[in-house]
Amino acid sequence: MAEIELPNPHELEERREKGFTRRVALVTAIYAVALAVAALGGNGYGREMLLAQQQASDQWAFYQARSIREHQYRGQKLRLELDLLERGAAMKPEARARAEALLRKFGDEEKRYNTSKEPIKVEAEKLEHERDLARRRLFNFEYAEVFLQIAIVLASVSILAVSRLMFSVSLVAAVAGAALAINGFTLLATLPGAH
């Protein structure tokens, strides 16, 4: 009668562990790719947020400069109006004509600076909106990176401990991280605390 050789139970366990280890290692590599994508998105939107903030600050400084000039012309115009009111009748016709021409010029400049401020304000508010949008995106990417890093650590530990439960928890963390990264690109949902 032919002898049937039964497999060694230790060899079967070792093969199963090797298969598990390979699968977990492959999935961990996928986690790392997702982490790289999330980090890239976070870095990009972080730079975008900083640039928009800087540009908005520049626009507000320009707006403020225009406001100061407008107020200077208004003050000069008011002062000249008062002078004309107090001394207008006693002034020589030539001096009065020059003062009235200057008064018109100050009024025109005041209006020009007043009307030129509005487009600057609109641009500054648009840049602030872009900054806020980039900040909301960045918030998602930061948490996506955290969850994906946790997933990588848990997957690595699951290899060492040969723990399917630990690997399952790493999958949950990775799915959360991937969902946050996708939300960072799409902003389908607003997360609490993402101002």
* Better-scored residue on pLDDT, 171 or 90: 171
- Establish if 193 belongs to a structural domain: no
- Establish if 26 belongs to a structural domain: yes
- Establish if 168 belongs to a structural domain: yes
Section 92-120 average pLDDT: 91
pLDDT above 70: residue 8: no
- Establish if 1 belongs to a structural domain: no
pLDDT of 99: 87
Distance CA 173, CA 84 (A): 77
pLDDT of 12: 47
pLDDT above 80: residue 135: yes
- Of 173, 126, 122, the closest CA to residue 152 belongs to 173
pLDDT mean across residues, the chain: 90
Taking residue 161's Cβ as centre, other Cβ atoms within 10 Å add up to 11
Would you state the structure tokens that stand for residue 33, as one six-digit string? 């790719």
For 7-21, 92-106, 122-136, which range has the lowest pLDDT when averaged over its residues? 7-21
- Of 38, 20, 17, 40, the closest CA to residue 28 belongs to 20
- Establish if 191 belongs to a structural domain: no
pLDDT of 1: 47
**Residue located via tokens 């918030």:** 139
- Establish if 15 belongs to a structural domain: no
Residue-number span of the structural domain to which 108 is assigned = 21-186
* Better-scored residue on pLDDT, 1 or 147: 147
**In which element (H, E) is residue 186 found?**
helix 164-186
Q: What value does the CA radius of gyration of the chain take, rounded to a whole number of Å?
A: 35
Section 95-113 average pLDDT: 90
Would you state the structure tokens that stand for residue 95, as one six-digit string? 């001096």
Would you state the structure tokens that stand for residue 77, as one six-digit string? 């115009």
Section 20-25 average pLDDT: 91
Percent of the chain past pLDDT 70, that is, above it, reads 90
Section 34-48 average pLDDT: 96
- Establish if 3 belongs to a structural domain: no
Section 136-152 average pLDDT: 97
Q: Give the total number of structural domains in the chain.
A: 1
pLDDT of 61: 96
Give me the DSSP letters along 98-121. Answer: HHHHHHHHHHHHHHHHHHHHHHHH
- Establish if 71 belongs to a structural domain: yes
